A and B are shown apart, each in its own frame.
Chain A
Amino acid sequence: MNTPLRRVGLAMLAMIILLLANATYIQIIKADEYRTDPRNRRVLYEEYSRERGKILVRDKNNQMQVVATVNPTNDRLRFLRVYNNAPTWAPVTGYYSIRYGAGGLERAEDEILNGSDDRLFVRRLSDLITGRDPRGGNIELTINPAAQTAAYAAMEKAGYAGSVVALNPKTGEILAMVSTPSYDTNGLSAHDPEAQEQAWQTFNNDKRKPMLNRAISETYAPGSTFKLVVAAAALADGKNKDTQVTSADKIAVGGSELRNYNRGFCAGAPNGVTMETALSLSCNTAFAQLASELGNDKLRDQAAKFGLGEEDLTIPMSVEQSCIGPRASCMDVVDRNALFQTGIGQRDVRLTPLQNAQIVAAIANGGERMKPQLVKSILAPDLSEISHLDEDSLGRAMSRDTATQLRDMMITSESKTGGEGKRDGLTIASKTGTAEAGLDPKNTPPFAWYVAFAPAEDPKVAVAVVVESQDVAATGGKLSAAIGRATMNAALGGA
């Protein structure tokens, strides 16, 4: 009986060897495939339980302020994402939720923040050897906290829905990026799944769309602020700020008429005005006529030089495309009649607030457009610097001379614009705009724009403000200028 017993013994060994061979196949050869399967939540949990990096800003005293950090917890996820003054920063930081993923910078820079980026590799390795839990890298923002806070406070205090974007025209650094109404990102990072779900539902069911980052993900008709683009194209076409343009009270466009805002002649002069006057008084007929004369190609080229039509701009969040035509043919005005309306920033023209800020920033920077960027530096967990922002020129949008003439016209424009926040000793160059919105513009409150830069002699900040106003009679000057000026004052370190 022992021979068959021995054979059974061998069979038993063979069974174990089969199990071992199969386990080798599963756990070594196929391991990566299983580990990285999107349905395997372990990787996600692992990542979520790592000490995520901080999001930081540097204030005017060169002190680091914490925008987003983590607090240790006693539950399985170990760390809770916490945002300071969350609504102020929501459009910058985005959110970080176990259930709903990440948004904004949290998503765009996830690899740095969660520590899996290759640039953190050496430190990860040393963490492994020293037995410390791997930690994420930190991100320092280009944002000027004073400007961000001032812009958000001004928007929120007035109860406006809209956006403020401020840029450093020389470097492209984003100094402020505000979107209102905003939301509390802490609600989405809560570890309690029910609280998380409730916050998500509340934000998503809110008709005012608090989670929409209006600065980069929403486009608005730019209205009269688009006259800067038309003027730039006209100047490039051989005109100057003193060139006479029409001052007609109305021009026929197709079957209807296009009128000035005040329904009369531009500057009350029936026989033409200078382009400077037309811009500073924002006369519609002059720029509709100019656009028509320039034609689709010249207008499109100028708009493209300012960045319209760019599809893949990332700051590092991706930015919605801005267009002069319908979405399907973004950079083509549909027909000649549409060209008139395009000249005054209506019809199909749609800009993100960031795009409009880029236009004034390019004018402020002597015609050169800098790539807008939000990340100033990437820091290791111990705050040593790993990489620093590279200023990146996106090319010349206009000649230096054109930029200077536009600046001068905008200084005149600012002098004709009312509203609070003007300050002695600070020259601002600006343009306002009141864009008709919706299908029934007469009864729909307009978008009130204000784009500006300061100081005009040596620009340090360029700003674009858009307010989705509640009032049918609102204009850019009344609503947005005060907020734009407050933002610039804060960015320049003043009151």
Chain B
Amino acid sequence: MASPVQGAVGPATGQNSAGGDKAAPTRRGTELVLLGFAAFVVSAALMLVEANQEQQLTFRIVWYGLAFLGLFTIAHVAVRRFAPYADPLILPCVALLNGIGLVFIYRIDLAQAEKDLRAGHEISNDVPRQIMWTAVALLLFLAVLIVIKDHRTLTKYNYTFGFAGLFLLALPAFLPSFIAPTINGAKIWLKVGPLSLQPGEFAKILLLVFFAAFLVSKRDLFMTAGRRLLGVDLPRARDLGPIVFAWAVSLGVLVFQKDLGTSLLFYATILVMLYVATERGVWVVLGVGLFIGGAVIAYHLFTHVQQRVANWFDPLATYGAQGGGYQIAQALFGLGTGGVAGTGLGAGRPDLVPLSNTDFIAAAIGEELGFIGLAALLMVYTVLALRGMRSALAVRDTFGKLLGGGLSFALIMQVFVVVGGVTKLIPMTGITAPFLSYGGSSLLANYVLVALLLRISDAARRPQTGNRPRPAQQAPIAEAHTVMVERPT
């Protein structure tokens, strides 16, 4: 591939509104139907919660249902207007996840309210705030779609994004604790008045954009082979820069902010992007080696890492210890009680698990919807990420491919880290479940992520000048349109 931008992609404007081009169906109708389906599922879930918790259906249900429908209708119209060729599955998947998340946050609110009432505390509901955040996130989503008409324009600001990302990532670590308090052991929040933000969530997106642009511009350099050793082309020492940088930043996040989750997510995503950009597996080997080294160092240096590992090996053994396995054990109890079919929405006790509406929301879902429900939600994530990956495969510019692939992977990685942590597959690292968990920053950042994916998928499916055969939409990834890549000699 000679130039980062291959093929002539028409200027992305809003002229091609829905139904304007019969030759290349926009499939916005499919999207609308699927959104309707998502709204139906979410409303049904809400009704189940109401039925199981209150024994009577209150007016609130209508309010929440309408709010949900309204918000996503706006999003749909925006996509129709600004990204008409975008993948039709991405937005409905997001709507479903976000909606189910709202239902669960509401459901946990009810349980907490009862507890608060008994303890004489003031009831603090999270769901109105989360709906507010959803609205703000959709506004941001809209803004991204409108402002970024072509994702390639992002490459112009790559260093700006890089520095901004680093700045945001590091910010809480350097601010005094009245602005950046340590919550649950991690120093990753900024508290401004009633608002609390996690700048790291935004840093994640900015740094992904920066890395995609950076890797594309320096791609040829990285692909220059260094010495050959045992039949493997080793990269030159000076090309190790980006991966060492990523490694150092991740360790920095770990050391200064004690945020294992973000550290892991960040590192894995950069590694994958490096691999995709260079097409050389040796980076993965090198990266995994560095990761193991870093993990061993972290384990020996930090007691909180040791604690997490001990909790992972046997949460029941460290059940009573300070910072021990209580939370994971409670999550496992919930998951076990849920079993295959779950206790039913609103009929379980997810409030017994601390943080059940943020990091541990997967435990609440596994308890009340059972293995079936949890598997279904994992499938929705899979569809979402694979549609993103599909767009990355289909888009014609390397930056888009790299960014799309990175964003899709970041999504699944995040799901893997949080669900794996809750279900004791890997040590718990404390990260939010995208779109499901309560938390404004996470929601905002993930909507930006989705807006970028939609933008890339729009570019991928938008008809080119001339009559290029459209790739079959239902084709599996393996049969998708392939860009021939020359391997430099």
Residues of A with Cβ closer than 8 Å to B?
A: 1-6, 8-9, 11-13, 15-16, 18-20, 22-24, 26-28, 30-35, 37, 39-43, 45, 75-76, 192-193
Contact = CB atoms under 8 A, between A and B. Distances in A.
Given A19-B378, A19-B415, A27-B338, 19 more contacts: A1-B277, A1-B401, A2-B480, A5-B389, A5-B392, A5-B393, A5-B401, A5-B405, A6-B393, A8-B405, A12-B409, A19-B420, A19-B425, A27-B335, A27-B374, A34-B333, A34-B336, A42-B348, A42-B349
A75 B53 CA distance: 9
B interface majority secondary structure: helix
B419 interface: yes
A30 B314 CA distance: 14
Interface string B358-397: 0000000010001100110011011001100100110000
Contacts of A31: 335-340
A16 B412 contact: yes
Contact of A34 (B332, B348, B482): B332
B233 interface: no
Given A1-B279, A1-B398, A75-B114, A40 B333 contact: yes
A39 B329 contact: yes
Contact of B374 (A15, A23, A33): A23
Contact of B378 (A9, A16, A30, A76): A16
B341 to A, nearest CB: 10
Given A1-B276, A2-B482, A34-B332, A27 B118 contact: no
Nearest to B316: A37
B290 to A, nearest CB: 18
Contacts of A40: 333, 336-337
Contacts of B375: 20, 23
Given A12-B389, A18-B420, A35 B276 contact: no
Given A5-B405, A15-B412, A75-B114, A35 B339 contact: yes
A192 B423 contact: no
B275 interface: yes
A53 to B, nearest CB: 22
B265 to A, nearest CB: 12
B95 interface: no
B483 interface: yes
B319 to A, nearest CB: 7
Q: Is the interface of A mostly helix, strand, loop or mixed?
A: helix
Nearest to B417: A15
What are the nearest 9 A-B pairs in CB distance?
A34-B336, A40-B333, A27-B371, A22-B425, A31-B336, A12-B412, A4-B276, A15-B416, A35-B336
Nearest to A25: B423
A12 B412 CA distance: 6
Given A27-B340, A40-B337, A4 B275 contact: yes
Contacts of B415: 15-16, 19
24 contacts: A1-B1, A1-B402, A2-B480, A5-B276, A6-B393, A8-B409, A12-B386, A12-B389, A16-B381, A19-B419, A20-B375, A26-B424, A27-B338, A28-B371, A30-B336, A31-B335, A31-B336, A31-B338, A31-B340, A34-B333, A35-B336, A37-B333, A37-B336, A41-B349
Contacts of B348: 42
B408 interface: yes
Contacts of B385: 12
B472 interface: no
A15 B412 CA distance: 8
B334 interface: yes
B8 interface: no
Which residue, A27, A32, A33, A76, has most C-beta atoms of chain B within 10 A?
A27
A27 B339 contact: yes
Nearest to A18: B425
B485 interface: yes
A12 B382 contact: yes
